[in-house]
Structures are given as C-alpha cells and as structure tokens.
Amino acid sequence: MKFLLTAGPTREPLDPVRYLSNRSSGKMGYALAEAAQRAGHEVTLISGPTEVARPEGVHFLQVETAGKMLEAVQASIVGTDCAIFAAAVADYRPTNIAEQKIKKSADSLTLVLERTPDILGSMRALGYRGALVGFAAETEHLVENARGKLLKKGCDLIVANDVSQRGIGFDSDDNAVTLVFAGGREESMRKMSKRDLAEKLIGVCEKLVK
C-alpha cells in the first residue's frame, strides 16, 4: 500500500527570528512512518521541524509552515491508500510578518492572528477517498472532542490522546490513546512505547483500506 504521513509541529513566523509553534516532537509520526516502512508499504513522510532522526527507506519532505505542509500534502496524496495526519499544525498564524526583528520597545505587544489552512479537513473536499486518519491531542473531554473532529473532517479514524497526562504525548517516548472510529466504535490502547503503538496503529490502518 501507499501511505502518506505528516509529523511534527509547524512554525508560523512573526519576524526573521521568532515564530509561533507548539510542543510536538514528531516522535509519534516518525514512529508511524518507520512502522509502515517495516510492514512493506511505500511511505511518504511530510515533516515540520523536529530533532528526530530522518527514517530510512521513506520519501521525506521537510516543510516549516502550515501553508507549505498543505502544498506538500496536495502534491503527494494522489494515489495513496491511507493518509495519517499526525502533525500538530498551528491553528493560527500572524496576519503580518515583520520584515525586520521586532524590537523590545513598548510595554505590551498585540498580535493579530488568522486561521491557517485546515489540512486534514480539506482532504475530502479535494476528492481524497482513501483511508483518512487524524490525531487529536486534547486536555479535556477526550472522546467527545475526538468524535466531533472525526465527523467534521470526514475521517475514518481519530487517534486521541490526553496530553495533560504526565508520561505520554508531547516529548515522551510513550503514549496511550483512544481510537475513535467512524460508525461509533471506540478502543482504548494502554500506555506503551510509541514504536510499539505505531506498529499496532499501522495494523489498524491497513484494515481501514477498502
């Protein structure tokens, strides 16, 4: 099969030296790419900036902003059987990027932000009919929020994790998730290494491909 994966954070620049981003390490997305490659699939990994070693044997595309990630996804998703969106894409970006470094002068600074492109949410409208998998990093109402995301974005599966819990999620080598499927089924997966979890998730995704 052909798999497309996104991983890591995006960075939305404020000026030449500053940006808006988040705590995503990219470890889960990279583990998924490696697991899919080990399972014999053809893998394209589109990654925001991370410090994780680039997986071997995959087609790797490095991007920085949400806009560039969308462009890379649109150029790569045609013909794929399963698309897994594990990247933590910034929801907002500055409406104006300063050409020079913003100097510390006033006592306060107001930033005006605009929405970034909804990459996952645009896939069905663009005609993608493969298995569509999203991730939801939540701090409350885990299953409720994941179910809403699944319905809104037309996914077959949302992989939800509670990032408020210590020892799982951002920056961690371990994770524990709840799988929320189209059709109403839910499945909890206990805490395990992201490598082990990735292998299980790739197996689940293989079964989603029709």
Helix ranges (H only) for the chain are: 27-38, 66-76, 142-153, 194-208
d(CA 83, CA 6): 8
Burial of 120 (0-12, 13-18, 19+ CB in 10 A): buried
Asked if 145 is an active-site residue, the reply is no
Q: Tell me the three state secondary structure of residue 162.
A: strand
Per-residue tokens: 174: 């371990």
Tokens 């897994």 sit at which residue? 84
Quick one: CA torsion of 80, 81, 86, 91, rounded to 10 degrees?
60
d(CA 197, CA 207): 16
- Among the listed residues 22, 145, 161, 175, the single catalytic one is 22
Query: 152 Cβ partners below 8 Å, 6+ apart?
Result: 121
By annotation, the residues acting in catalysis are: 22
